[in-house]
A and B are shown apart, each in its own frame.
Chain A
Amino acid sequence: MSAGLDTAPRTTLRTRAVPPARAGRARRRARPPRGLKTFEFAMMAPALTVLFVLSWVPFVILIAMSFAKVRTLGGVSLTFTGADNWSAVLGDGAIWASWARSLVYFVAIVGLEMLLGLAVALVLHQLVRARSVVLSIVLLPMFLAPVLVGLLGRFMLDSTIGLYAKILQGVGLGDDLLASPSTALPTIVSIDVWQWTPLVALILLAGLTAVPPATLEAATVDGAGYLRTLVSIILPQMKPIILVALLVRSMDAIRYFDIVVATTNGGPADATKIIPIKLYEFAFRFNNQLGKAAVLGLTMLAFSIVMARIFLRFFGERPSIAAGDGGDRG
C-alpha cells in the first residue's frame, strides 16, 4: 500500500521536469551506458579495487597454477606443464574417493542440520516463557571458533577423561569414536551439527514467527492435527526462508574445514579426508604440489559459484523476506 502511494508523486515530478520529447536523449546523456562515472560507482571504487586484488587476481593465478608446476622456494616460479595436473587429479582414484566422502559429509551435515534446526525452531516457537533464554543458550556454539569446537569435541570424547565418552561407554560405545575409521566421519558430522544447527534454527524460527497466527487458528478450528498443520500449512509458507537456510548452510559447509583439521585431520585411514583436507595436504603438508591443489580449488569454486547464482536469483534483487522477531517475546 505505502509503496504505491510513494511512487505516484515521484513519477509526476519526473515527467514535469523533463519534456517527453527530450527525455530519452537526456537520460542517455546523464547516465553513461556503464554507469562508471556516477557518484555511486565512486563510492564503490575503493572497495572494488581491494576486492579485485583479492578475488580476480587470485582467480587468474589459480587457473595459471592449475596448468603449471609451482615452486615457491627462492621466489615464486611457474613452469607450464599443460594439462598434467588436471589429468593427474582426474585420474587419481583416491581423489574420487575423497569427492564421494565429501558428498556424504556435505549431505549429512546439511541434511541433519536442516531437520534438527527445524525441530529446535518448532520447539522454541511453542515455548512461551523461557524462549529468549533458551534461544540465547542455543546460539552460543555458533560463536566459538570452529577449531576450538573441534578440540572441544576431542576433549568431550576423549576415551580416558572425556565426559561424553563416559556417558557413551555406559551405553556400550566404549571405543575412541574419532580413532576408528567407521565412526570418525559420523562423529565429525555430529560435532558440526552441534555448532551449526543453531544457525538453521535461528533462521527458521524467524520464518515461523512470520506465519500469520490467524492461518494457524483456522487450521486448528478445522480440526487439523499438529503434524498435518505443519506439513500442509506451516512448511509451504516457510518455503523461501527454508531455502535461505539451506543455501547459507550449504555455502558454509563447503567453506570451512577447521573442525576436521582439529579432530582427525583426514584420518584414521583417510576416513575423514574430504576435498579441502586433500587440497590442504597437496598445498602445504607433504610434497609441495600446488598445481594439483589449484585444480581441486577450481572445482570447489565451481560449486560455490553455482550456489551464489541460486542465492542471487532468489534473494538478490527482490526485497528481503520479512520475518517476525526470533526471540524477544518471552
Chain B
Amino acid sequence: MTTIRPPAARSMSRLLVPALAVVIAVWAGLPLLWMLLTAFKPDTAIRTSHPTISFTPTLDNFRNLFLGGNRVGAYLVNSLVVTGVSTVIAVVLGCLAGYGLTHWASRYKRDVAFWVLSTRMAPIAAVLVPLFVMFRGAGLVNTIPGLVLAHLSFNLPFAIWLMSAFFARIPESVEEAALLDGCTKWRRFRTVSLPMARAGIVTTAVLCMVFSWNDYAFSSALSGPDTATLPQAAGALVTQSGIDWGLLSALAVVVAVPMLIAGLAVRRHLVSGLSLGAVTGE
C-alpha cells in the first residue's frame, strides 16, 4: 500500500523481504527456542558435542530447580514480593506525581522534570555505591524493604516521567470541561484523567515490573542469602565446577516466560513506554 515500485524491483522485493524477515526472526528467536528446548532436555542430550533436537522431554530440570538444594522457591518468593511492592509503589506515586508535574504551573517545572529524568538515566553502577553505603549505615542491606527502595530508585522516576507523558496527551479541553462542571481538581484527576490514562498506567506497570524482575546489579550488591532474587539464582548456578545448563535453562524459562507474555500483552503501547513517552505509538 505504501510503496509503488517498478515491476523489476517489486518482484525482487517480493522474495527478498520475506527471506530477510525469516533471517531476522531466526536470529532473534533461535537462542530463546534453544533455551526452551534445553530446559526440557535430559542431561545426556545437553552434554553432547552434537547439539540435537531429538530427545525425550523431561521435567527433571524443573524438579531439581525447586526440590534440589537450590532453594529457588525462596528466591522466587523474594522476587515476587520485591517486584510486586516496588511496582505498586512506583505506579501509585508515579500517577500522582506525573499528573502533578504535567499540570504544574511553575518556572521550576523544567528543573523538576530534569531531576526526575536524570535520576532515571543515572548509571546503575554510580547509584549502587552511595546506596550501598547509605543502606549499610541504615541497616537496610540484606532486607526486603531495602531492595524495594533500591528498585524504586529507577522505577519511581521512570513511572513519574512516563505517566506525566501519558497525562499530557489527554486533550486540555477534556480537563477544562471537567473543571467547568464544578469538579474539584482531585475529582477531575480521579474520575476523568485517571480512567483516560488507563493504557498508560498498564504500560508503566508492566515496564516497571520487567525492570524490577530482571534486575541483577542492585540485588546482587544489596541483598544477602535471605533476600536474593531469581536473577541472582542464575548467578549462583555459575560455579567453579562448571554450569548445569539444563538447570539454568529451566530457571531462565521460569524467569523469562512471565515477562515475555507481559511484554507482548502491552505491545501496542511499548513504543511510548520504551521511548520514555517521546513517541506516541497508538
Binding site for B on A (CB under 8 A): 6, 10, 31, 33-36, 38-44, 46-48, 50-51, 54-55, 57-59, 61-62, 65, 70, 72, 75-76, 120, 123-128, 130, 134-148, 151-156, 158, 160-164, 166, 194, 198-199, 202-203, 206-207, 213, 216-217, 220-221, 225-226, 241, 244-245, 248, 251, 254-258, 261-262, 275-276, 279-280, 283-284, 290, 293-294, 296-298, 300-301, 303-305, 307-309, 311-312, 314-317, 319-323, 325-328
Judged by a CB distance under 8 angstroms, whether B239 is at the interface is no
Q: Given the interface contacts A34-B106, A61-B130, does A127 sit within 8 Å of B279 by beta carbon? A: no
Kindly state the separation between the CA atoms of A204 and B58 in the bound complex, as whole angstroms.
41
> Which positions 184-224 of chain B face chain A at CB distance < 8 Å?
185-186, 189, 210, 213-217, 221
Residues on the B chain within 8 Å of A203, using CB:
271, 274-275, 279
The answer to whether A38 touches B268, judged by C-beta atoms less than 8 angstroms apart, is: no
Known: A203-B279, A301-B126. 11 other contacts (CB 8 A): A34-B108, A39-B185, A50-B93, A139-B267, A140-B263, A144-B252, A152-B32, A166-B49, A290-B129, A301-B123, A320-B280
The answer to whether A255 touches B136, judged by C-beta atoms less than 8 angstroms apart, is: no
Residues on the B chain within 8 Å of A50, using CB:
93, 152, 156
The answer to whether A283 touches B101, judged by C-beta atoms less than 8 angstroms apart, is: no
Kindly state the separation between the CA atoms of A323 and B272 in the bound complex, as whole angstroms.
10
> Which positions 222-251 of chain B face chain A at CB distance < 8 Å?
230-231, 234-235, 238, 243, 245, 248-249
Residue of B with least CB distance to A315? B278
The answer to whether B282 touches A262, judged by C-beta atoms less than 8 angstroms apart, is: no
The answer to whether B129 touches A293, judged by C-beta atoms less than 8 angstroms apart, is: yes
Residue of B with least CB distance to A214? B2
Judged by a CB distance under 8 angstroms, whether B118 is at the interface is yes
Subset of 7 A-B contacts with CB under 8 Å:
A35-B104, A134-B25, A137-B25, A203-B279, A255-B124, A312-B117, A315-B277
Residue of B with least CB distance to A328? B268
Q: Given the interface contacts A10-B176, A39-B185, A220-B5, does A283 sit within 8 Å of B130 by beta carbon? A: no
Partner of A216, one of B3, B106, B157, B281: B3
Judged by a CB distance under 8 angstroms, whether B72 is at the interface is no
Residues on the A chain within 8 Å of B243, using CB:
151, 154-155
The answer to whether B49 touches A61, judged by C-beta atoms less than 8 angstroms apart, is: no
The answer to whether A151 touches B238, judged by C-beta atoms less than 8 angstroms apart, is: yes
The answer to whether A325 touches B20, judged by C-beta atoms less than 8 angstroms apart, is: no
Kindly state the separation between the CA atoms of A298 and B1 in the bound complex, as whole angstroms.
51
Kindly state the separation between the CA atoms of A69 and B48 in the bound complex, as whole angstroms.
51
The answer to whether A311 touches B276, judged by C-beta atoms less than 8 angstroms apart, is: yes
The answer to whether B216 touches A258, judged by C-beta atoms less than 8 angstroms apart, is: yes
